[in-house]
Amino acid sequence: MEKKIKTIILAAGKGTRMKSEKSKVLHTIFNKELLGYVLDAVNDTGMAEENFVIVGHQAEAVEEYVTKNYDNAKCRLQSPQLGTGHAAFQAYEDLKGFDGEVLILCGDTPLVTAETLKKFVEAHISNNAALTVMSAIFEDPTNYGRIVRDENGNLKAIVEEKDALDAQKKIKEINTGVYILNWEKVSPSFLEMTADNAQHEYYLTDIVKWTIKHGLKAQSFILENNEESFGINSKKQLAQAAKIMKNRVLDKLLCEGVTIVDPDTTYISPETEIEADTIVYPCTYIEGKNKIGKNCKIGPFARLRGGVELGDFVKIGNFVEIKKSKIKDHTNVSHLSYVGDSELGSHVNIGAGTITANYNHITKEKFNTVIEDNASTGSNSVIVAPARIGENASIGAGSVISKDVEANALGLTRAPLRIIKGWFERTNK
C-alpha cells in the first residue's frame, strides 16, 4: 500500500502583479484554475489523504471552488497574512498528533506534475530525511530564494533574495517553495519562528534552518525539469505557463501519432485524450476534459469547450464550436456551427451554420438536443432544445425546429418563396 501523506497548499496571496480583483490561484489556463492543477497533481500521486488549502485574499471564492470540486480538501484562513511560515502554520492544529509526512507547496504552480511529486516524496522517505526541499537550477536565479550549502555540499540554509549577500545571489540553485517534512520531527519549528528579516514576516524557509540546527537530516531534491517550478505572479507569466503547458501536451500527442499541423497556433488541454491518426488543423483551441477518437479531423479555427466525446472518423469543420456533447462515428459538423449539450448519432451531417439553441437566458436553464443516426440538418438551421431529431430525419435549410421530428421525416419551417418581378425598376425610379 502506498504511504499516505497530508498536504498544505499555500493559496492566500493577493497576487498584486496580476492586476486583478480575482484571487491569483483562481486564474485559469485552458479554463481550469491554477489551484486545480496543483490539487490534481497532488491527488494523482495516489498518496494524498487530506489537503489543507490556506486561503486569504478572496477567501470565500477560493473556498467555494475548493469545496465544490475536491472532497479531500479543507480550507483554513490566514488573516492577517504574515508570510509563508505563518500561512502553513494555519494547518498546525489540524495536524496535531499526525505521525507521517506533510507536503507543502504553492497553489500558483500549475506545471508541477504528479510524477515529480511522487518521486519527491519517495526520495524523502527512502533517505529517511526529516525534511526535503525541492530545488531547481536556473541560469538566472533572480527573485528566487537561494539554496546555501556548506563546504561538503550539505544543505545549510535557504536565503531569500532580499536578505541574501552578494555572493549568495550568485548561487544558481533555487528554492521552488515545495517541501516535505516528517511532521512529528519538524512541526515544533513552527512554534519557534521569528520575523527577524527584511520583510518582518515568518518565512517557511526557517524550518530548514531549524531542522539543521537540531541535528536532523535535511536534504534537497533537484528538479529534472525546472519548468515545473514555474510560479504565476503576473498575466505575462500566466501566458508563458499556458504556452509551456500546451507545448508539453502537443509533444506528447505528436509522439502518440496525432497530427498537429501547426503546433504554434494549436492549444490543447492536458485533460484531452486524442487517438492516433486524428488531424488537428491550425488555430484550434481545445479546453477542458475531452475524448477524441481516431482518424478525426478538427479545424481549422475550431473550439472544443470541454465535456466533448468524439467517436472515430468525426469531422469538426472550421469555425465550429462544440461543448458538452457526444458525437458518434462518421459524423460531420460543418463550418460555422454550434453544438452544445447534445448527442449526435453516427453518420449524421450537420449543415453549415446549424445551431443547437440549448440555453434559456431567462430561466438560466440548459436543455439537451438528440440527433439520431443518419439524420441531417440543412444550412442555417436552428434546433431549439429540448428536441429530438429521429433516425434518417432531415431538417430543411433555414428552419427553426422547436419540436421533435420523427424518424424518416422532413422538418421544415421555411416560408414560401415569393418572387416580385420588376423589383429593381420599381425601387430605382
- Looking up residue 147, the CATH number of its domain turns out to be 3.90.550.10
Residues 195 and 202: their CA atoms lie apart, in Å, by 5
Q: 229, 253, 273 — which closes off a domain?
A: 229
Residue 359's pLDDT is: 86
Asked, for residue 320, whether it belongs to a domain, the answer is: yes
Residues 113 and 40: their CA atoms lie apart, in Å, by 9
Asked, for residue 424, whether it belongs to a domain, the answer is: no
Given pLDDT bands bounded at 50, 70 and 90, which one contains residue 270? Answer: very high
What is the percent of the chain with per-residue pLDDT over 90, rounded to a whole number?
85
More confident residue, 16 or 197: 16
| Number of domains present in the structure of the chain | 2
With 0.85 as the threshold, say if the pTM is over it: yes
Given pLDDT bands bounded at 50, 70 and 90, which one contains residue 169? Answer: very high
Q: 189, 211, 229 — which closes off a domain?
A: 229
- Asked if residue 242 and residue 217 are part of one domain, the reply reads no
Instruction: Provide φ and ψ at 262, rounded to 5°.
Output: -140, 90
Radius of gyration of the chain (CA): 28
- Asked if residue 173 and residue 304 are part of one domain, the reply reads no
Residue 1's pLDDT is: 43
Average pLDDT over residues 204-226: 93
Instruction: Provide φ and ψ at 103, rounded to 5°.
Output: -95, 130
Question: Cβ distance 309 to 326 under 8 Å?
Answer: yes
Q: 229, 262, 297 — which closes off a domain?
A: 229
Question: Cβ distance 288 to 269 under 8 Å?
Answer: yes
Residues 34 and 15: their CA atoms lie apart, in Å, by 13
> Tens digit of pLDDT for each residue in 123-156?
999 999 999 999 999 999 988 889 998 888 888 8
CATH of the domain at 283: 2.160.10.10
> Tens digit of pLDDT for each residue in 404-422?
999 999 999 988 889 999 9
CA atoms within 13 A on the CB side of 40: 15
Catalytic residue among 57, 200, 330, 335: 335
Asked about 330 being catalytic, the answer comes back as: no
Average pLDDT over residues 394-403: 96
- Asked if residue 298 and residue 166 are part of one domain, the reply reads no
Which pairing describes strands 321-323 and 338-340: parallel, antiparallel, or unpaired?
parallel
Classify the C-alpha dihedral 225-226-229-234 as positive or negative. Answer: negative
Average pLDDT over residues 282-301: 98
Asked, for residue 419, whether it belongs to a domain, the answer is: no
For residue 206, give the nearest of 79, 42, 87 by alpha carbon: 87
- Asked if residue 299 and residue 177 are part of one domain, the reply reads no
Given pLDDT bands bounded at 50, 70 and 90, which one contains residue 2? Answer: low
- Asked if residue 37 and residue 186 are part of one domain, the reply reads yes
DSSP-H helix ranges across 12-101: 34-44, 59-69, 84-89
